Structure 1
Amino acid sequence: MEKILIKNGLIVTMNPQGDVIRNGSIYIENDIIKEIGPDTDISNKPGAKEIDAHDKLIIPGMVSCHNHLYSAVVRSIPYSGFESPDFSFVSWMDRFWLPLLEDRVDQEVMYAGTRANVLDHLRSGITTTTDTAEGSYALPGALDAVDQACMETGIRAVLSFETTGRISEENAAMGLQENINFIKKARAREYDRITGRIGVHTTYTCPTELLQEVKKSADELNAGYMMHHLDDRYHHFDTCLRFGKRPTRYLADIGFLSPNLILFHCSYIDQWQDPQIFKEYDVKVAHNAESNAIFSFWPDMLHLIREGVTVGLGTDGQTFNYFEVMRTAQMIHRIKYENPELMKDDQVLRMATIEAAKVLQMEKKIGSLEVGKKADVVLLNDRSSVPIFDVNAINYIVNTCERTDVNTVLVDGEILLQDGKFTKVDEKEVYAKSKEQAIKLWKKNDWPLP
């Protein structure tokens, strides 16, 4: 039995009571938190590995509700595609992202990019990620490559493949089957750190029949499913033109919505009817604040949150610094409404932890530091210029911390990062392989090479 005792830290539990424990300890056996409380209440544990958390904050491992892990290889590419005079997000997707990147992704790119992105996420304090693998010409077996990369690096992950109808009916069927096969594979093995959902692209690339088949398959498997939704105004134009109704109402009318569905982005919801529809069907939402802001979108989650919709944060692949993501989520709402009281610090941190776990329907296992939950734990260095204690700890985490402050990361009680160094993989080798695959992709597009 593996035993770990983390001692003498400031524990921000994110439990329902919002407890912050000064001079606290966490005792872990194998993958489960067995005891948590003040040092004085937790006795020494013979045979346990001890971690001294003096001058450190201890928080739950953070949770990203949306990601494209392979996309580590397409950061900082030497061509943006933004130069076109008819630029819009959809035209950019059609002219640039889909033909030059997504359709040229193979399993080697997926494997290398996923490993690099996982290290970026772990170093940012993210212990659970939710991946939608893209690459319709990497089928079949795309998720096996992503799965292997996640297992080697040790992160907790929910994996899916992005089923799409934009190429052919045969390719759409292959994408859906990729999801089904992986869900069954993940359930059949003892290793439970990686699970599966069904992924599907969005309303304007998937015919009604495909969306209904995705929902039917998810129901038959009793599995979750997830989709991009309203990340651009074009979604409204498309469904109104084809079906005479807005996208969310269309999805409700075809029977697609349910509590097992996660919708990514939702930047352009109809604020007058969508929050009520989401609440009625208990749909979950992944808010990718920083990624959306990069594309000049201004997502507004307040209407959904006020209606009681479950909203968690996500990275969306090319961004990975969760402290930046939290601050971006906070700032875009405060700026829009000119109200510094919106998106309070504890709410934003909850969206990165326990609320994100609720989005994944995993709140009984992760998202907070409580007895009986999985031992997904992050230790942050305290480099503050003022004393940090229970009153201001969450403010410090959200407003001041950086990913460079992440000192130690545990997933399932396994130490993946200790004193800033990875324990399972060679970091330099991982990034070198990612660079190799990036250059291979650039060569395919005749882009400038180093």
Structure 2
Amino acid sequence: MIIGNGRLITNSDKVGFMDNGAVLVKDNVIVEVGNFEELKKAHPGEEVLDAQGNLIMPGMICAHSHIYSSYARGMAPSGVTDNFFNILENLWWKLDRSLQIEDIKLNAFTTYAESIRAGVTTLIDHHASGHCIEGSLFALEESAKKIGVRTSLCFETTDRDGKEATKAAIKENVDFIKHCLKEDDDMVKALFGMHASFTISDETMALVKEAMQGVDAGYHIHVTEGIEDQYDSLKKYGRKVGERLFDWGILGDKTLAIHCIHLSQSEMDIIKATDTSVVTNPESNMNNAVGAPPVVQLLKKGVRVGLGSDAYTQDMFESMKVSNILQSHHLADPTVGFMETKALQFDNNPAICSKYWNKPLGKIEKGAFADIIVVDYKPHTPIGENNWFGHLLFGVNGGMVRHTMINGKLVMKDRVILTVDMDKINADSAQRAAKIWKNM
């Protein structure tokens, strides 16, 4: 297939922007990028998806989300949510304990569908369902494959649901990692999920490390999202969170440290030294009133900082907008935020994915996975090599995505999901959510 007749943003070092660009896709990879008319002439038999003068660009990457939170939309928790711990205890932990396999599959379908509609083609998820652990990651994988999205999955290991649940979570993570390594699938990858330092004892850390001996995978863990995480670590272990995770060998080039709001300078240095990736989630941080991540400082130290949504939204265009203004507002400096946000989404999210997938993501170039979106955007000011990001940041949102291709297959055309029956899924989800809400 040729996707062409549009302004092409490649996010590639080779050719960054083309006025009348086109992409030739064979199987699941990009085999050629060039002028639309020239590619059509060279490949006369190819099916053509006409962008009609709109934007053609790489699919967006969300480097951290929570599929299990899908039922929370419109839900009113009965417990107090006046601080970070109470938000966790009375909202998110209460919700995740209510989920069964049916809910996990529905949550996956609805989250992935909204992601696809917003142009997200790769989503790295951190799952929790404390009373339904065994088989939960395999259920998520089943939904992901049916809808056709690229994803990385893990289960949230924690002590909060008792020792047997902790052991079951460790087993689910390791079983799924080994399954993914054996399958070596282009679409689904695995990490070892851990909630956060303050809900993981040294005893559990030891069990995790024992289970992961000889297993080639990184960790996906929340780090100093709230200042309470630091207080807990200092009180119990006499070590800062970053130091404790380093001591246990959790940090490394395949590990995702999520949030990292309350890091000290020495912890930032540890993260840099271990080549650990940080993923920030600005809208969620503001909503939970936990603070602003030190994005500018981390980038200056050379830390690989990516961008997620924490499931506050599935629209990464929206997350970019907030990432930009949060940094400039927090630092009272209008010169920061813009280029940092571009680096998070278009440099570092692809770099993070390169740790797990064997072909480039987040780029339109020869040899990259064919994850491509077409966005209904015809600018009223000039657009080109040097300013396309400004157009995306201030002119585009996920609702403008018309077509989404993942792994060489159109999964959405003219804003219709092609792979599953979303009317039925949404109806089933609404029914189940109403039952779950009674537990809240």
- Residue 33 of structure 1 and its aligned partner are, at CA, apart by 0.4
Q: How far off is 1:17 after superposition? A: 5.2
Query: Match of 1:175, SS?
Result: helix
Identity %: 26
Of residues 155, 160, 163 in structure 2, which corresponds to 1:166? 160
Deviation at 1:132, TM superposition (A): 1.2
**TM-score normalized by structure 2?**
0.94
Q: CA deviation at 1:161?
A: 0.8
Which of 427, 430, 435 is the equivalent residue of 1:432? 427
* Partners of 1:411 and 1:235 in 2: CA distance: 38
CA–CA separation in structure 2 for the residues paired with 1:96 and 1:387: 46
Q: Which of 324, 330, 344 lines up with 1:351 in the alignment?
A: 344
**Residues 144/405 of structure 1: CA separation in 2 closer, same or farther (3 Å cut):** same
Q: How far apart in 2 are the matches of 1:386 and 1:82?
A: 48
Seen in structure 2, the aligned counterparts of structure 1 residues 12 and 191 have a Cα distance that, compared at 3 Å, is same
Q: Which residue of 2 aligns with 1:62?
A: 60
Given that residues 354 and 366 in structure 1 are in contact (C-alpha distance below 8 angstroms), is that contact kept between their aligned partners in structure 2? no
Relative to 1, partners in 2 of residues 1:164 and 1:56: Cα closer, same or farther, differing over 3 Å?
same
Cα distance per residue 1:85-104 (max 9 Å; x no partner): xx320133224432x31211
Match of 1:388 among 380, 383, 388: 383
- Does the 8 Å contact 2:61/2:316 carry over to 1? no
TM-superposed CA distance for 1:16, in Å, is 3.0
Comparing 371-380 with 357-366, greater Cα deviation is found at 357-366
Residue 50 of structure 2 aligns with which residue? 52
What residue in structure 2 maps to residue 76 of structure 1? 74
* 1:414 CA drift (Å): 0.4
Asked if the contact 2:55/2:378 (under 8 Å) is kept, the reply is no
Amino acid at match of 1:274: E
Over 3 Å counting, the alpha-carbon distance change for 1:16 and 1:388 in structure 2 is closer
Pairing of 1:178-327 with structure 2 (within 5 A): 178-189=172-183, 191-218=185-212, 220-270=214-264, 272-297=265-290, 298-327=292-321
Equivalent position SS for 1:221: coil
Distance in 1, matches of 2:263 and 2:327, equals 15
Residue 204 of structure 1 aligns to a residue whose secondary structure is helix
Aligned partner of 2:400 among 388, 405, 427 = 405
How far, CA to CA, are the matches of 2:376 and 2:76 in structure 1?
Answer: 36
Structure 1: which 5+ runs fail to align?
Answer: 446-450
Partner deviation per Cα, 1:184-206 (whole Å, 9 max, x = no partner)? 22333374311111111111111
C-alpha deviations, 1:38-82, integer Å up to 9, x for none?
Answer: 235534424322011232111111111111112111122023745
Listed as ranges, the gaps of 5+ residues in structure 2 are none
User: Match of 1:444, SS?
Assistant: coil
Q: Are the counterparts in 2 of residues 211 and 256 from structure 1 also a CA contact under 8 Å?
A: no
Question: CA offsets per residue over residues 237-284 of structure 1, 9 Å max, x none?
Answer: 1011111221111222233222121111112211x2122111100011
* Deviation by residue 1:355-381 (Cα, 9 ceiling, x = unmatched): 112223147421211100100011111
On the 8 A contact 1:70/1:112 being kept in 2, the answer is no
Residues 1:127 and 2:127 are matched in the alignment: no
In structure 2, which of residues 144, 147, 161 is the aligned counterpart of residue 150 of structure 1?
Answer: 144
The CA deviation at 1:349 is 3.5
Q: Measure, in 1, the Cα distance between the counterparts of 2:256 and 2:4.
A: 37
Per-residue CA deviations over 1:100-151 (Å, capped at 9, x if unaligned) read 3121121111111110011111111110001111012102111122111111
Q: Tell me the CA shift for residue 412 of structure 1.
A: 0.5
Corresponding letter in the other structure for 1:51:
L
Mark the CA change 1:252 to 1:186 in structure 2 (over 3 Å): closer, same or farther.
closer
Aligned position for 1:448 = none
Residue among 23, 28, 37 paired with 2:25: 28
Letter in 2 for 1:435: A
Offset at 1:219?
5.2
Which stretch shows the higher mean deviation, 37-46 or 410-419? 37-46
- Seen in structure 2, the aligned counterparts of structure 1 residues 219 and 284 have a Cα distance that, compared at 3 Å, is farther
Shift of 1:351: 2.0
Superposed CA RMSD: 1.9
CA distance, structure 2, for counterparts of residue 19 and residue 365 of structure 1: 15
1:186 touches 1:192 (CA, 8 Å); kept in 2?
A: no
The one-character-per-residue Cα deviations of 1:365-402 (angstroms, maximum 9, x if unpaired) are 21211100100011111143334343432211111201
Find the aligned partners of 2:362 and 2:210 in 1 and give their Cα distance.
29
d(CA) in 2 for partners of 1:11 and 1:276?
38
Which amino acid counterpart does residue 243 of structure 1 have in structure 2?
Y
**Match for residue 342 of structure 1 among 332, 336, 342:** 336
CA offsets 1:300-333 (integer angstroms, 9 cap, x no match): 2111111111111111123212111001000000
SS in 2 for 1:324: helix
Which amino acid in the other structure matches residue 303 of structure 2?
A: V
Structure 1 contact 71–114 (Cα < 8 Å) conserved = no
- Cα distance in 2 for partners of 1:70, 1:220 equals 29
SS at match of 1:318: coil
Shift in Å at residue 350 of structure 1? 4.0
Residue 196 of structure 2 aligns to a residue whose secondary structure is coil
Q: CA deviation at 1:18?
A: 6.6
CA distance in 2, matches of 1:80, 1:349: 39
Residues 219, 302 of structure 1: alpha-carbon distance in 2 compared, 3 angstrom cutoff: farther
Distance 2:333 2:210 in 1: 43
